[in-house]
Amino acid sequence: MKKQILNLGKALTRTDQKQVNGGGLANCSTYSGPYCYSDIESNCGSCLEYQALPKEHKPCVLVDYYCEVQ
């Protein structure tokens, strides 16, 4: 069973890994907002606030899956 779970999906290349949230391609030194966005967590910004973020700041934060699919 463990081998089946470990073989799910595909291995990410180094380029793919850098595009994952927080992967280092963004210049986050200019970002000063909340560190996370979620409509579930009370100490995070809302999904609407996340949608309003400039494209260059979106990789700088943690975001709930539901904010991405809206």
Q: List beta partners, residue 62.
A: 36
Q: Which domain range does residue 42 map to? A: 2-68
Structural domains in the chain (count): 1
> 36 and 66 in contact (C-beta within 8 Å)?
no
Residue 12, both tokens: 């990410």
The mean pLDDT of 42-53, rounded to a whole number, is 92
Give this prediction's pTM: 0.59
Query: Whole-number mean pLDDT of the chain?
Result: 81
